[in-house]
């Protein structure tokens, strides 16, 4: 059989044996005919709390948080729906759109145009969050044992609105909702604690788990303590089209959205597999190696101990060059040594959490990587095995183990398989 997996903007065709291959995909939901009408309904008929127009009053300033370029959020549609809903209450010049970069790089001008469209760019103030610039942050004290520094534009706004999309997340349970506040708009000091080795290493810090997950428990607490006026999240299908929309008070809205997302995206399988082929859901999610560890983590849920994971991710943005991910990977000569180094470190450093997750997977399975955006040398430096052709690699593995069971996650972490 030929299976198309999400890869870059074009996809990748893989030839696999029919008799031993299981394809695991989310329940594909149809795109809504009028996403604009669906968004308006979410703003006027919230899951809980008052509608948006009852939250915002004349003369107030509004800050809207949106995902950065590493996420396929339909930002333009969502922000324009909010602006139209607020007509007659506040002017677009009173609205700031904050790009919730977390610790990622800033957006380019062309990316901003792609993400938000000319109307939003020309009418609103656009701010790229800078987690490492203390001058742009406000100290809000402690929430539990987490020091909370948030974007000052966010803190100073009269009304704060989050927008995002909800899908399972490999250590925070689910994306969207309160994650748009922290780590999305948080300072580095906040994120380092939220993503420290103890929290990331907790077995409850995993796909689809929020309550009891030490990462998400703190994320929810920060959003609740610092105040969000309104929140809107969407669900997307495999074509990145809107299928559902939820609005209202942030925690209740997010709980409803993730309950639906869990039913659609998490799929049971009847045992572990010898070979698991995964992607990182194509561009923009597979734009670098750092992000692509999410697809690897999804595959790790169903690979047998000693099995093989094959990940195909384009990585047009490289490792990437910004951040410390490549530096940390190069700091030890094996995944085991990386884990030992992280465990011995007195403090968390940026990008350490992604390395920790990758190294944990490699304690259980062999990890092969196909990418047109990385050289073989770069892949080896990341402690991965480069491959040129996924189909030929699988054929070679089957010659060594003819009865191997194969699973394919064509949409990568948009489908979270688990052993029933």
Q: In the prediction, which pLDDT does 94 show? A: 97
DSSP state for residue 181 in the 8-state scheme = T
Lowest-confidence region among 114-118, 199-203, 248-252: 199-203
Q: Which residues lie below 8 Å from residue 123, measured CB to CB, with a gap of 6+?
A: 83, 92, 93, 95
Distance separating alpha carbons of residues 278 and 170, to the nearest angstrom? 14
The secondary structure of residue 28, as a DSSP letter, is P
Q: Where are the beta strands (DSSP E) in 94-143?
A: 95-100, 125-128, 137-143
363 vs 39, residue with greater confidence: 39
Ordered structural domains, the chain, with CATH: 2-25+270-419 (3.90.226.30), 35-264 (3.40.50.11440)
pLDDT band at 350 (very low <50, low <70, confident <90, very high): low
Asked if pLDDT for residue 338 goes beyond 90, the answer is no
* Phi/psi of residue 143, nearest 5 degrees: -120, 105
Judge if pTM exceeds 0.85: no
Mean pLDDT of 132-143: 97
Using an 8 Å Cβ cutoff, are 280 and 311 in contact?
yes
Q: Alpha-carbon distance 72 to 65, whole Å? A: 14
Identify the pLDDT of residue 346: 60
Mind listing the pLDDT tens digit for each residue in 253-309?
999 999 999 998 889 999 999 999 999 999 988 999 999 999 999 999 999 999 999
Question: What is the percentage of the chain residues whose pLDDT exceeds 90?
Answer: 82
**Separation CA 39–CA 352 (nearest Å):** 37
CA atoms within 13 A on the CB side of 356: 23
pLDDT at 343: 77
Q: How many CB atoms lie within 10 A of CB 20?
A: 16
């Amino acid at each position: 059989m030929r299976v198309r997996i999400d890869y870059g903007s074009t996809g990748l065709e893989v030839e696999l044996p029919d008799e031993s291959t299981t394809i695991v995909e989310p329940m594909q939901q149809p795109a809504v005919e009028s996403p604009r009408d669906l968004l308006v309904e979410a703003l006027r008929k919230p899951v809980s709390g008052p509608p948006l127009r009852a939250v915002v009053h004349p003369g107030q300033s509004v800050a809207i948080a949106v995902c950065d370029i590493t996420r396929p959020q339909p930002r333009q549609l969502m922000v324009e729906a909010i602006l139209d809903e607020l007509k007659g209450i506040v002017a677009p010049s009173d609205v700031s759109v904050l790009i919730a970069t977390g610790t990622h790089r800033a957006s380019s001008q062309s990316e901003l145009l792609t993400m938000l469209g000319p109307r939003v760019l020309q009418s609103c103030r656009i701010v790229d969050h800078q987690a490492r610039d203390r001058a742009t942050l406000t100290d809000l004290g402690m929430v539990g044992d987490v020091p909370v520094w948030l974007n000052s534009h966010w803190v100073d706004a009269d009304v704060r609105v989050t927008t995002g999309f909800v899908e399972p997340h490999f250590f925070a349970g689910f994306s969207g909702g309160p994650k748009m506040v922290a780590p999305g708009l948080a300072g580095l000091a906040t994120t380092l604690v939220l993503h420290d080795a103890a929290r990331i290493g907790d077995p409850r810090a995993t796909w689809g788990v929020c309550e009891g997950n030490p990462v998400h428990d703190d994320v929810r607490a920060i959003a609740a303590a610092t105040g969000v006026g309104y929140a809107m999240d969407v669900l997307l299908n495999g074509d990145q089209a809107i299928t559902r929309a939820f609005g209202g008070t942030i925690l209740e809205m997010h709980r409803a959205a993730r309950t639906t997302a869990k039913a659609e995206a998490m799929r049971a399988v009847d045992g572990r597999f010898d070979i698991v082929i995964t992607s990182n859901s194509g561009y923009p999610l597979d734009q670098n190696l750092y992000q692509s560890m999410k697809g690897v983590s999804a595959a790790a849920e169903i690979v047998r101990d000693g099995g093989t994971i094959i990940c195909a991710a384009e990585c047009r943005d490289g490792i990437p060059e910004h951040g410390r991910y490549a530096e940390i990977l190069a700091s030890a000569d094996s995944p085991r040594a990386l884990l030992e180094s992280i465990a011995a470190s007195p403090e968390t450093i940026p990008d350490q959490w992604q390395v920790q997750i990758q190294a944990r997977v490699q304690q259980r399975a062999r990890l092969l990587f196909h990418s047109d955006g990385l050289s073989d040398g770069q892949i080896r430096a990341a402690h991965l095995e480069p491959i040129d052709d996924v189909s030929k690699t699988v054929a070679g593995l089957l010659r060594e183990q003819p009865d191997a069971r194969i699973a394919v996650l064509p949409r990568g972490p948009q489908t979270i398989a688990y052993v029933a």
